[in-house]
Structures are given as C-alpha cells and as structure tokens.
Amino acid sequence: MVTSIDTVPGWFSDDELAWVRSRMPVLYVNAVPVRVDNTGSVTRVGLLLQATPEQTISRAVVSGRVLYHERVRDALLRHLEKDLGPMALPSIPATPQPFTVAEYFPTPGVTSYHDPRQHAVALAYVVPVTGDCRPRQDALDLVWFTPEEAAGPEVQSEMADGQGVLVRQALAHTGCLP
C-alpha cells in the first residue's frame, strides 16, 4: 500500500532524521558546478554563498542527501536544480563516477570534512553547467570564480567544514589546480 508519506521528498520528521543521523552514516552528493570552454577545460567554478545554522556566512558547493530509492544521478540533478535554479542545465555524465568520497564526521579532525550534525558520506562530482544559474532555496548568491581564485587563500578562508579542500580536490581532478 502506498501512502502519501511515500511520495513526499524529505519524509522524515526532524526528530526521525535526528535519530537516523545519530545512528548511521547518511549518503549525500556534493557537486562542484563549473563552466568549461570548448576543449572541456574548466574556466570558472561556481560557489554558493550561504548562511550557516551558526549565523555565519560561508561559501559552499552544491550538497544534499540522496533520498531512499533515488538514483545518485537523480539526486545530483535535484540538488543542482534546487540550488542553481531550473535553467542551470547541468551535464551529468552517462556513467557518473565521483572524483572523491568525502567522509564528514561530527568530531572535528577525523578527516578534512566536518558536519557537527552527523556522520555523512558524500560522493563528490564536478558538474559542468551551461545555462542561467540563479541561486534558490538556502543559497543567498552564486559567484563564478576562476580556478585560481577558487583555490586561493581569500576564497578558501570563506569555506567551512572541508568545503575548500573539496574544491581544491575538484580542481586537481580536472587538472587545473594552480
């Protein structure tokens, strides 16, 4: 029997999600949106400006949970549309392989990645986008940086919880880490 709760995204209540997060790792996707030239070289890296629960502002990549019975490809598309808008036109490869697996721990220092709410495992992708990006949902703004700027100390200092490390890994993966 299918109930309405089976078809509503994010169907866990806040209490249920807190219970799950306290007991097991949760699967996420991270996407580093990029603009590429006609040779496929990265020319720009898109970073979101977001308010954190701690009342601070930081830059971040697109990120979100993979829902039960959702393909990774669909989760990537859903989160890219949620954060960048429906006209971003992301290009998910036919065989999406993450460039890294980021393990976020609630205890700082276990890895470069930290999430005080939970132990999370994120499959991380570099995703070219060709359309018009307009931040939505939790994002306050989207700024396109050159690879040099995104890897530089000024932008890196604006990223929290390992997001800067993730961007540098994405740039290294694409061969354009300055």
Average pLDDT over residues 65-77: 94
How many residues are listed for the chain in this entry? 178
Structure tokens at 97: 């392989």
Identify the pLDDT of residue 138: 78
- Model confidence over 1-58: pLDDT tens digits? 344 444 455 577 888 888 887 888 999 999 999 999 999 999 999 999 998 777 889 9
> Are residues 31 and 133 in contact, defined by beta-carbon separation less than 8 angstroms?
no
Question: pLDDT tens digits for 101-137?
Answer: 999 999 999 999 999 989 999 999 999 999 999 998 7
* In the block, residue with structure tokens 């100390």: 153
**CATH number assigned to the domain covering 20-173:** 3.90.79.10
pLDDT score of 55: 83
Residue boundaries of the structural domains of the chain: 20-173
Helix boundaries (H) for 13-157: 14-21, 72-84, 147-151, 153-156
Q: Is the pLDDT of residue 144 over 90?
A: yes
In the chain, pLDDT over 70 holds for what percent of residues?
93
pLDDT at position 177 is: 82
- pLDDT tens readout for residues 75-96: 999 999 999 999 999 999 888 9
